[in-house]
Amino acid sequence: MVGEIAGNGFCVFIGVAEDDTKEIADKLIRKMLGLRIFADENDKTNLSLHDVDGSLLLISQFTLYANCKKGFRPSFDRAGNPKLANELYEYIIAECKKEIQIVETGCFGEHMEISLNNHGPFTIILDSAELINPQK
């Protein structure tokens, strides 16, 4: 077992594109940590990860950039090269640890078996391309 969280928290799969930067990662981190998706005392989704003293499980996942438009073998040409991806993954971990008490991780570039119990209706995609060009 490498990383595990329990209780309130986010399991975050992180894919890095070739044109992602630390500035983009900072925007995504700010957005992720500010998402108000936990229920308050009135069962309204008004609370963020900070509000519920939640934890994070951060897992690198280049396959998020799979392009399946042609043929049957996915292309990963939009995924960042491993050196860049690992650098940004480690940067995201370090930045999250400044804000969140419990931050667990997977192993970069390794085959992992991941088990997830999702409590609630939320599975959200935060895409750096949408933050850069919000009109699209």
Give the active site residues. Answer: 63
Please give the single-letter amino acid code of residue 95. E
Kindly list the strands in the beta sheet with 55-60, ordered across the sheet, starting from the edge strand earlier in the chain. Answer: 9-14, 55-60, 103-105
How far, in Å, CA of 84 to CA of 15, rounded?
11
Q: Is residue 95 a contact partner of residue 25, using CB atoms and an 8 Å limit?
A: yes
Residue 34, both tokens: 């500010």
Residue 125, both tokens: 């995609």
Rounded-to-10 torsion of CA 70, 25, 120, 68:
0
